[in-house]
Amino acid sequence: QKEVEQDPGPLSVPEGAIVSLNCTYSNSAFQYFMWYRQYSRKGPELLMYTYSSGNKEDGRFTAQVDKSSKYISLFIRDSQPSDSATYLCAMSGDKIIFGKGTRLHILP
Amino acid sequence: GAGVSQSPSNKVTEKGKDVELRCDPISGHTALYWYRQSLGQGLEFLIYFQGNSAPDKSGLPSDRFSAERTGGSVSTLTIQRTQQEDSAVYLCASSFNPGLGGETQYFGPGTRLLVL
């Protein structure tokens, strides 16, 4: 079993829809959970960062961590074409592991 | 500088040649990381520096790969006798504090390496 699993997509949704992106993991030692956004031909940039279980909201973005299920989510409300990118989950304890990324297309 | 810079942005080389990739971290960042990103494979950790030393080299895929950092700043990733499977985007990141847990990493734009 891989340490981090993430559906690669692509995921296409209409503008204005709510987007749900997810990752599962197997290592219970992970304590920090992150979401990065990567535009084409750019490096990843940190979107959201959470520690332990719970929800964290930042504007249209909400990150959710469920440590009991080893499942994390990123929700994007009122999605915009500019949200079209690859979203990578990442988690760390003594080392950082990235998911493969989900390609998201917001259709105008 | 405003962010992490990497050079060259693109590199095409022939199989068997050596290549050097450079990373300039954000000024004042003590930690520096190298990753490799292949199509559909996500980010693969290669090596991490704290200052000039590398506490974790576990991700280097073979002894053809090496990296150094001088003056606690610029880092160079060297790939000797390149192979076609080395073709990927090589990303560098830096962070203010050392450690791989809970520290925001700022990424450069990457070097796209193509080995023919």
**Residue for token digits 């700022």?**
B106
A89 DSSP β-pair partners: A35
Question: Mean pLDDT, chain B, as a whole number?
Answer: 90
Which pLDDT belongs to residue B96? 84
**Percentage of chain A exceeding pLDDT 70:** 99
Nearest to B19 by CA among B30, B6, B32: B6
> Pseudo-torsion of CA A87, B10, B84, B42, nearest 10°?
-10
Of all residues in chain A, the percent with pLDDT exceeding 90 is: 74
Q: What is the mean pLDDT of residues B82-95?
A: 95
Q: What is the pLDDT of residue B101?
A: 58
Predicted local confidence at residue A99, as pLDDT:
92
- Which pLDDT tens digit goes with each residue over A54-91? 899 999 999 999 999 999 999 999 999 999 999 999 98
Q: How far apart (Å, rounded) are the C-alpha atoms in residues A95 and A83?
A: 28
**CB nearest to B42's CB, from A41, A45, A98:** A98
pLDDT tens track for A5-42? 998 889 999 999 999 999 999 988 888 899 999 999 89
- Distance between CA atoms of residues B57 and A93, nearest Å: 17
**Does A45 lie at the interface with B, CB-CB under 8 angstroms?**
yes
Q: Which of A31, A33, A96 to mutate to test the interface with B (most CBs of B within 10 A)?
A: A96
